[in-house]
Amino acid sequence: MGKTSIRIKLITYFLILLLVIIVVIETVKRITGDFYLAQGLSVALAMGIGTIFGIIFSRSLTLRLNKLSNAAREISDGNLTRDIEVISEDEIRDLEEIFSLMVKHLRTLLLDMKSVSIKIHETNSNLTKLAKKLLESSNDIDVTAKSIAKSSEDQTEIVRNTTIKLESGIKAMDELVNQSSHTISKVDEAIKKTQKGETNARETLSHLETVLKEMGEYSQPIIKLPDKVEKIKVVTNVMEAIAQKTDLLSLNASIEATRAGESGKGFAIVAEEIRNMAENSKQSSQAITRLVEDILTDNKFLKEFLVKNQRDLDKGREIIRGIVQTFGDMLYGVKEIFSEIKSMEESTIRQAKELRSFSDKFKELASFASQNYKSTQKTTIVTRNQKVEVKKIVSAIRLLDRLSEKMIETQQLFTLPELPKESKENPLEENQI
C-alpha cells in the first residue's frame, strides 16, 4: 500500500474545505441573493468543517503518537516484549518503522549482550583456571629454574675448581717435562762420561796389559839372575879352592925356601907374594861370595816382590776388567734409564697435551655452565615477570568478569519476548546472519 503524506492530506482537506465554501456561497447566493449572508454561512460552515477535520486529523495523529509514546515509555521501563504496530500511511509510519526497528535492534543487542556476557563469564572462568595453571606452571618453572640455576652455579664452581686443578696438573707436568729434559741431558752427559770412563778403563787395561807384559819381560833376567849368580858362586868357590891350594903351595914353597937357605930367599919372596896373592884371592872370593849371597838374598826378596807384584797386578787387572764391565753395565743401565726417561717424557708431553685439551673442554664447559646459569637467571626473571603479568591478566579477567556480571544485570533490567529454541541457543549467529 502506498504511503500518503500529511502535507498532501492537509492540502486535500484544505481544497475540500474551499470547495465546500465555494459551493455554499454559490448556493446561498442563488437562494437568498445576499452575498454577505453567503459569506457568513460559508465562514461558519468552513470553521465547523475545519474543526471537524482538525479534530479527526489530530485525534488520529495523537492516537498514533500516544501509542509510540507508550511503547517508548515501556521500552524505557525495560519491557521489550511489545511489538510496534506499523499502521500509519503517512510520515508517522517512518517513526513507527524506526521504533519497531529500534526495538528489534535493542532485543538483538540485549540478546547479544546476554550471550556475550555468558560467554565472557564462561571464558573468564576458563581463563581463570588457565591463569591458575599458568601461575602453578610459572611457580614450577621458577622452582625448576632456581634449581637449575643452583645446579649450574655448583657445576660452574666444580668445573672452575677442576680447571684450576687441571691447570695445576698441567704446570706440574710441564715442570716434570722440564725436569725430564734436564734429567735426559744429565743422563746423556752421564752416558758420555760413562762411555769415556769405559774407554779410559779399556785404555788403562790395555796399558796395564802392556806394562804387565813388559814387567814380565823385564823380570825374566831377574828370575834368571840367581842361576847366573850361582855360577858366579861356583867360580868363587873354584877361586877360593885355588886360593887355598895356592896358599898351601906358597906354604910349601916357603918351607922349601927355608930349607934352601940363601939360595931360596928369592923363592921365599915369590912364595910370600904367592901367599899374599892367594890370601887376597881368598879374601876377594869371600867378598864375592858374600856379595853373591847378598845378591841372592836381595834377588829372593825381589823375586818374592815380583811374584807379589804380579799377583797384585793380576788382581788389579781383574779389578780394572770388573771396572770396565761395571762401566759397560752402567752404560747399558744408563741407556735403559735414558730410554725410560725419554719414553716417560713423551708420555708426559702427550698427557700434558691431553690435559690441555681437557682443560680447554672444561673451559668451554665452564662457559656453557655460566651461560646456562645466566639463561636460568633470565628465565627466573622472565618467569617472575610472567607471574606479575599473569596476575595482571587475572585482575583484568576479574574486572572483565565483573563487567560481564554488570552487563547481565543491565540486561536483566529488560524483559524480552520468548524466542524459538534455536534463536536462544545462537543469538550471535543469528545476528551475524
Per residue in 258-283, pLDDT tens?
777 666 666 667 667 776 777 777 77
Percent of the chain with pLDDT over 90: 0
Give which of 134, 154, 165 is closest to 372, Cα–Cα: 154
Whether the per-residue pLDDT at 415 is higher than 50: the answer is yes
Provide the percentage of residues in the chain whose pLDDT is more than 70.
64
Map residue 428 onto helix, strand or coil: helix
Question: Scanning the structure block, which residue is given the C-alpha cell 778403563?
Answer: 201
What is the band of 413 on the pLDDT scale with cuts at 50, 70, 90?
A: low
What's the pLDDT band for 423 if we cut at 50, 70, 90? Answer: very low
**DSSP per-residue letters across 31-66:** HH--HHHHHHHHHHHHHHHHHHHHHHHHHHHHHHHH
Q: What is the pLDDT of residue 371?
A: 74
Average predicted confidence (pLDDT) for the chain: 71
Cβ contacts of 292 within 8 Å, gap of 6 or more: 229, 232, 233, 236
| Contact assessment for residue 26 and residue 107, using Cβ atoms and an 8 Å cutoff | no
Whether the predicted pLDDT of 431 surpasses 50: no
Closest CA to 110 of 99, 122, 102, 98: 102
Cβ atoms of 7 and 25 within 8 Å: the answer is: no
The answer for residues whose C-beta is within 8 angstroms of residue 323's C-beta and 6 or more apart is 201
Q: How far apart (Å, rounded) are the C-alpha atoms in residues 254 and 238?
A: 24
H or E element that contains 34: none
When pLDDT is averaged across residues 331-341 and rounded to a whole number, the result is: 73
Measured between alpha carbons, how far is 370 from 376 in angstroms, rounded to an integer? Answer: 10
Whether the per-residue pLDDT at 1 is higher than 70: the answer is: no
Phi-psi group of 33: left, alpha or beta (phi > 0 → left; psi -120 to 50 → alpha; rest → beta):
left
Query: Is residue 79 scored above 70 in pLDDT?
Result: no
Lowest-pLDDT range of 212-226, 229-243, 295-309, 323-337: 212-226
Report pLDDT for 432.
40
Q: How many angstroms separate the CA atoms of 268 and 258, rounded?
A: 7
On whether the CB atoms of residues 348 and 180 are closer than 8 A, the answer is: yes
Residue 253 has what pLDDT? 72
pLDDT for 225 beyond 60:
yes
pLDDT at 421 > cutoff 60? no
Instruction: Report residue 200's pLDDT band, with 50, 70 and 90 as the boundaries.
Output: confident
Under a CB-based contact definition with an 8 Å cutoff, are residues 299 and 222 in contact?
yes
From CA 126, how far away is CA 393, in angstroms rounded? 13
CATH class of the 153-376 domain in this structure: mainly alpha
DSSP H helical ranges for 77-90: none
What lies within 8 Å, CB to CB, of 314 at 6+ separation is 212
Tell me how far apart the alpha carbons of residues 237 and 363 are, in angstroms, rounded to a whole number.
109
**Residue 99 pLDDT > 60:** yes
Comparing CA positions, the residue from 380, 384, 331, 58 lying closest to residue 202 is: 331
User: What count of other Cβ atoms lies within 10 Å of the Cβ of residue 75?
Assistant: 17
Domain borders along the chain are 1-77, 153-376
408: closest CA among 111, 78, 131, 176?
111
**Residue 424, pLDDT score:** 47
pLDDT band at 416 (very low <50, low <70, confident <90, very high): low
Section 177-197 average pLDDT: 73
| Nearest C-alpha neighbor of 348 from the set 213, 177, 145, 105 | 177
- Per-residue confidence band for 422, with pLDDT thresholds at 50, 70 and 90: very low
